[in-house]
A and B are shown apart, each in its own frame.
Chain A
């Protein structure tokens, strides 16, 4: 798509004041959904997204159970009031697609063979959306899965990079998504250094592809630090070192 206005000014500042390598403010709150086995609420820029996990639990209907591993079910859904124009509550094709790529982004990190004949349900609800909601959703879902005590190889951190004013920038927001030139959401397992989600929407010149990918991965690493800190804070409080109990 061709841009109609400048999204980066002459000082390198974007329309929300960020530099091209700057992540929006991210805040994670863990465990707010009391009934769920694990949950995380994320504020990623103006995105406000809730992820809740139930599992492992019984599969209903029973015939959907798999004999040798767990069934993973993901639902990405946007609340009607989450977007500029009201969205019909019924699932759109976009939500169906995102539910699928979200599941495929999380599944490689989970040790599903540990829970045969059971199900793990991941529900991501977008309460307010502002560009990059699938990345924020995956980030929150991964934390919720850890909160639920599911065996995982690694966390999954997710972030997007994009092209705006012909420059590769980190973590594009809603306006940059709508008016910019490309959007590349990525999900990444930091310890294993593996990608689990990659999509591209827009146009990149051959030399820009690698730059965009690298930038997105660097964003994932920043997001990972936030996930880690939130989990440590929730579970271990301000204790970073374990103190021995006198025997």
Chain B
């Protein structure tokens, strides 16, 4: 485990000097590595990055997002993914290659206002993000309590290998769907469980940058403070979901490394 130095920074703060690689939200200015956003700066062996504490969601390919259908043309749905760009879900993705506007009715499938879980399959500087729902567990979300959190807090809410969110799910008997874009949907059998999960999520959002958060969340949930589970255990509901979340974390971590190479 290499040593990581961490510090609170604002834009323009000098984090380090010398031969470090600038990763996320850091630029090299002369000999200095400088933060470009408010957040927690981490200087490690592989480079310097700033974990941001504020900012609108910027889409990334492979992100799992929760979006809202806001319009449709004859060939695609327009989806609000809580970002600076609307995303598009091509009708072909849902109806197949031989989609025909004459035969396949788009409104019967997704109506304006519907919430969907989707994955971003394409996005670059020249076009709006494109989505797919062609995966297990993607598609219209039938029910649940909806919350919005800052997209910058999502990694903290998920936790290392899903540990934070699983702690919350298990303690409240709920299933929590988390979009990288900061939209969260909680479902559970009891309203008390759902409310408690919502409170825990809000607490993580507000205190994401502080120490001992896991302890305090466990306190809120009345869970003994034992080390987090090494392997995710089977959940009673939606056993496939944690895998999705875990693979998202791995992707996030990979992504961070990739981004650092830019």
Contacts and interface: CB of A to CB of B under 8 A. Distances in A.
A117 B85 contact: yes
A111 interface: yes
Contacts of B203: none
Given A190-B12, A235-B38, A149 B212 contact: no
Interface range on chain A: under 10, 10 to 19, 20 to 34, or 35 or more? 35 or more
Interface stretch (B47-55, B108-116, B133-141, B188-196): B47-55
B181 interface: no
Contact of B152 (A149, A189, A240): A149
Contact of B34 (A38, A149, A191): A191
A149 B52 contact: yes
Given A68-B125, A153-B12, A55 B212 contact: no
Contacts of B7: 242
A240 B10 CA distance: 12
Given A153-B11, A232-B8, A55 B36 contact: no
A146 B10 CA distance: 8
Contact of B12 (A37, A116, A152, A245): A152
Contact of B36 (A152, A242, A244): A152
A26 B147 CA distance: 36
B84 interface: yes
Interface string B146-173: 0000001000000000000000000000
Contacts of B25: 151
Interface in A89-121: 109, 111, 115-118
Interface in B49-85: 52-56, 58, 84-85
A67 interface: yes
A240 B214 CA distance: 21
B221 interface: no
A132 interface: no
Nearest to B13: A191
A191 B12 contact: yes
Contacts of A203: none
A81 interface: no
Contacts of A244: 6, 211
B84 A235 contact: no
Contacts of B187: none
B125 A148 contact: no
B241 interface: no
Contacts of B211: 242-245
Contact of A150 (B55, B86, B152, B210): B55
A231 interface: yes
B37 A146 contact: yes
A118 B85 contact: yes
24 contacts: A55-B56, A57-B56, A58-B86, A67-B125, A111-B27, A111-B36, A117-B85, A118-B84, A146-B10, A147-B54, A148-B54, A148-B56, A149-B38, A149-B53, A150-B37, A151-B36, A153-B27, A231-B38, A232-B8, A236-B209, A239-B8, A242-B211, A244-B6, A245-B214
In the complex, the 9 A-B pairs of residues with the closest C-beta atoms, listed nearest first: A149-B55, A154-B12, A149-B54, A152-B11, A56-B84, A243-B211, A151-B36, A118-B84, A191-B12
Interface of A: 37-38, 55-58, 67-68, 109, 111, 115-118, 146-155, 189-192, 228, 231-232, 235-236, 239-240, 242-246
